[in-house]
Structure 1
Amino acid sequence: MESYDLYDVTEDAKVRFVGFAVNEGRYDFGIVYSDQFFGKPLVICMQTGHSALLDSSDIDDLDYLQKKFHLRTLTETIEVASFLEGVVPLSQMLEESYE
């Protein structure tokens, strides 16, 4: 079986670690801001290891967010979405960086 290298990129990426607590629980995320993946940051839940590439439109899709991070309730999902809105760049900002 032949293998094909699709890409091999090394980059200095900005990484931010954030945590917050609400009634539903405590959340710790690692956010990797990269030039890869059309500018969408990689958001990693430090408790579970679940991750997703997110922009503001992904955060607005509560069903998607709940499935990606295996959140238990709608209330929990809304709290996480509200927090992520403040740390994930707007879609428009991502689009402008590629023009």
Structure 2
Amino acid sequence: MKFFEKLYDEYEKVKVRFVGFATDQTRYDFGIVYTSMFFGKPLFVCMQTGRSALLDPRDLEDTDYLMKTFRIQDEQQVADLVEFFQEALPSTPFEPQYD
């Protein structure tokens, strides 16, 4: 292996939540990793597809991003996910990583 510059290598005990729910159209199974890494943004992992994203409240405003990330075709499905993500996000404010 060639030389590489390690940016971080951290161990952390984290809280993980697993949530399965169904809407009128779809079933969802998510793992949510609550961490202090990545400026406190939780990592949402779709257990069905393996697709994941670090999300904060501002990310929920960009439904195109959510539709692309989680491969959602329907506006109602993304609205349902936004409602779930809003409930699952911590209430503490997020600081932007880069300006």
TM-score by length of 2: 0.88
Query: Residue 89 of structure 1: CA displacement?
Result: 2.1
Structure 1's unaligned 5+ residue stretches are none
Contiguous gaps of at least 5 residues in structure 2: none
Mapped partners of 2:32, 2:63: distance in 1:
19
Runs (4+) off by over 2 Å: 92-95
* Structure 2 Cα separation of the partners of residues 70 and 10 of structure 1: 31
Q: How many residues align?
A: 94
Aligned residue in 1 for 2:57:
56
Match of 2:88, SS state, is coil
Residue 49 of structure 1 aligns to a residue whose secondary structure is coil
- The alignment status of 1:40 with 2:41, answered yes or no, reads yes
| Corresponding residue for residue 16 of structure 1 | 17
Q: Which amino acid aligns with 2:76?
A: T
Partner of 2:86: 85
Give CA deviations for 1:25-68 in whole Å, capped at 9, x if unaligned. 10010000001001000000000000000011111211111111
Identity %: 49
- What do you get for the CA RMSD once the two structures are aligned? 1.3
Partners of 1:56 and 1:89 within 8 A in 2: no
Helix, strand or coil: the match of 1:93?
Answer: coil
Higher helix share: 1
